[in-house]
Chains A and B, each alone.
Chain A
Amino acid sequence: MLAMKRRLFLAGTAAVLTAPSLGFAQTAAPAKGGTLRVSIDQAASVIHPLLTRVNPEYLITELLYSNLTRLKVDMSVESDLAESWSANEALTEWTFKLRSGVKFHDGSPCAAEDVVATFKAILDPANASPGRNNVGPIADVSAPDATTVVFKLAAAYADFPVSVAYTTARIIPAKIATGDFKSLSTKAIGTGPFKLVSYEPDRLIVVERNPDYYDPARPYLDRIEIQVFPDTSAEGSAMIAGDVDIISTLQPTEYLRLDGSRGVDVLRVASGQFCNVNFGCDTPPFNDPRVRRALALTVDRKAMVDFVTEGFGTPGNDTPLNASYRFFKSVAQRKADIAEAKKLLAEAGHPNGFEATLIASDRPAVRTQLAVALKEMAKEAGITINVQTMPHATYLEQVWKKGSFYVGFYNMQPTPDGIFKLLYTSDAAWNETRWNNKAFDALIAEARGTTDEAKRTDLYTKAQALMNEEVPSIIPAFFDVLGAKREWVENYQVHPRASVFRLDHVSLSAKAPKRG
């Protein structure tokens, strides 16, 4: 049985092939010490590693905890708590070998039983962890010995090592996972490169180096201060003034402002992050694919890239994949065609167009920008769109997943499967469009059990073609992920996933100001 198992470093091999510039591989040994100041653009309301929901929160839990595996900048995974992993031939059983001697911040050892308890906590509906649907089809998890964890899956899943790197699959102590689960809302006991010093959700989060981190070389910094800036323009000003060293998420307008500022490096990477217009495919008039396609045909995608990203993006084709994803092959690009749109509308029984209210939450601001631009473009085909914005909390409560015409905003996922299963399959974690297309579901399921690169690419391309034809949501543009840093910050790269930061690899040059 053991002999039949085949070591699968699926993502690992790809890394060697596709990694174009791992810039910091060539530089000299990074300097040790120093305090880094990082800005985040909203409060870090949640630091419970299994309950975080937004990028600034992921930034913090990434410092304090470890996963089994970690995403590299090229979207492949590397070892974290797990030293190695392998699967059976059917890809339904995965075995992870853990590092030995890893300690939690409170000094207690981190072993296989902690991993098992963590995943059980993630899967327990009572804990309402956002990761529950994103860590793969886990049927059972067990620990045969102190350094081995075995996952039994409900179905074949080739991307499983990537899915355990998910932003909320951080390993916590078993005694907390099964005991006072909520206690991690205000303190942190992880195995990460840094320890929590202080936590003020709306102002400042401070972490310091964990001397017992499993890698004796990392982290290089002594201390990281994470500052909250509710106003993006103020955040940019702080960077110019040298008050912060890294802006974790940068708006295009601020990028343009900081570009050329002395001592500031602007950072940019193409990504699969996007804003889309979701249709409730079970609600008239959007239950007719012709209506959805007609609206998609009104979009001038080149202009949309300018309006919503100031040019820091790429045109979308109404499928969530682009060149930033592996297994991507493009399908024919849709172009604006008002005559065709009008024809489709007439066929669908709306010769004079129709009227609909498009809802956009107020955060991030691009949602509203997209809505306003779409309103004007759709006008050409006789479609009247009324834009309604609302506070994000109200939107989550009343519109998200329930509405039939609203603007969504999503991070790039590590794999095509990740994004399809998040949003578009019938059993998607957030089945916003209620598209429920059986042929599409079958393609995605088949790809999950396929290891052959070419065959997988083929399956995903078919799935893309299907989406492009049926348009469950309009995806007019993809966003580049933008960031900024001071010159004295070394080895920091923005990550296309936008929720991974890898600050434990960062160091400060001699030019950095000394901070107490």
Chain B
Amino acid sequence: MSASYILKRLMMIVYTLLVVSLIVFAITQILPADAAVMMLGENATDEALEALRQSMGLNAPIWMQYGQWLGHLLQGDFGHSLRTGQAIGPVMFEALGRSMLLAVLSIGLMLVIAVPLGIIAAIRRGRIADMLVSLVSYIGVSLPEFVTATIAVLVFADLMAWLPPTGYVPLTENFADGLAHLVLPVCVISIILIAHVSRMVRSELVDVLHSDYIRAARMKGLSSGTVLRRHALRNALLPTITIVALDVGYLLGGVIVVEEIFAIPGIGRQLIVAIQARDLPSIQAGVLIMAATYSIVNFAADILYAWLDKRIQYD
């Protein structure tokens, strides 16, 4: 892994953010909403609106508005929310922190469950265990989050009263209570990921187990357990890193729905509220932050992959 490879990947992130910023800016420009109307509300007079548009620079040509917006972004200034008047940057990053907590816990839970499941299914290919894992994963990928979330709250919170139904308690405020509030949302997000990743692990492992070099290892007389641990798993699990990183995109989407239902004030909920209220600067900031998160995670995954897999050559 060379410095030039890392540099190239970093340039790609910059390019990604540029493209996303253009898309988002374009979309928010065409959205049927007048930022001045959104800000002053239904009782604004025409003069008040015009004055505000002037002061917000809304009458300037679009490309100039884009330039100004980008300029402020580069200085770390995301602007102010049209809805609440608060500075967007701190609000969004605080929300991102909560979503990241949710995401990291979900990925952790997913890895703990999905990888062993995939391995068992691959080793016991075609037998009952494999069938069961497949069945569970097919059902898992076939229910939208808002359905699983609803059912989860109904069963585990309302019916059994094992867990708090919704709401968010910061871990710093009350660790145990905060964690209890995270159990249901984390499980709901994990379900689809578990289904997806366990299938991937299974098919990778099946491929590896059929490869020539594993056959060769077997012929050398190594026990199947040793073959599995020393050779097969390493090669099969490596691509999982990439898959998990790509799933982060899916995760960020799922977070939107889950945060809405579980009343978690994360970035997904910020975005929904911003979209509903036509809070254009917040939409722009939120989408850009999500895209940046996705890009950085994938960059990290690539680096990790390259570091773990010395055999792969990078230019």
Contact = CB atoms under 8 A, between A and B. Distances in A.
Interface of A: 43, 45-46, 51, 53, 125-130, 132-133, 182, 185-186, 200-203, 227-231, 233-235, 237-238, 240-241, 243, 391-394, 396-398, 400-401, 429-430
Between A46, A126, A430, the greatest number of chain B beta carbons within 10 A of the residue's beta carbon is seen for: A126
B78 interface: no
B157 interface: yes
Contacts of A130: 41-43
Given A393-B277, A394-B32, A243 B164 contact: yes
B139 to A, nearest CB: 23
Contacts of B167: 227, 229, 234, 238, 243
Contacts of A43: 83, 273
Contacts of B262: 231, 234
B101 interface: no
A397 B278 contact: yes
B263 A397 contact: no
Contacts of B263: 227-231, 234
Contacts of B40: 128
B56 interface: no
B41 A231 contact: no
A64 B37 CA distance: 27
A396 B153 contact: no
A281 B256 CA distance: 42
A128 B44 CA distance: 5
Nearest to A261: B158
Contact of A230 (B44, B260, B278): B260
B86 A186 contact: yes
Contacts of B47: 125-126
A203 B276 CA distance: 16
B100 to A, nearest CB: 16
B32 A398 contact: yes
B269 interface: yes
Nearest to A133: B43
Contacts of B164: 238, 241, 243
Interface string B149-193: 010010001100100111110000000000000000000000000
Nearest to A45: B83
B43 A132 contact: yes
Contacts of B32: 394, 397-398
B38 interface: yes
A51 B260 contact: no
Contacts of A243: 164-165, 167
Contact of B165 (A185, A227, A238): A238
Given A231-B261, A231-B263, 13 more contacts: A45-B83, A127-B48, A130-B42, A182-B85, A228-B263, A229-B166, A229-B167, A230-B272, A231-B166, A238-B166, A240-B165, A393-B277, A397-B33
Between B32, B270, B272, the greatest number of chain A beta carbons within 10 A of the residue's beta carbon is seen for: B32
Between A229, A237, A394, A429, the greatest number of chain B beta carbons within 10 A of the residue's beta carbon is seen for: A237
A230 B84 contact: no
B34 interface: yes
A186 B86 CA distance: 7
7 contacts: A51-B41, A234-B261, A234-B262, A237-B153, A243-B164, A394-B32, A397-B33
B79 interface: no
A492 to B, nearest CB: 21
Nearest to B34: A397
Interface in B239-298: 260-263, 265, 269-270, 272-273, 275-278
Contact of A392 (B48, B150, B260, B276): B276
Contacts of B270: 202
Nearest to A229: B263
B273 A202 contact: yes
Nearest to A184: B85
Contact of A202 (B44, B48, B265): B265
Contact of A201 (B33, B37, B84): B84
B79 to A, nearest CB: 15
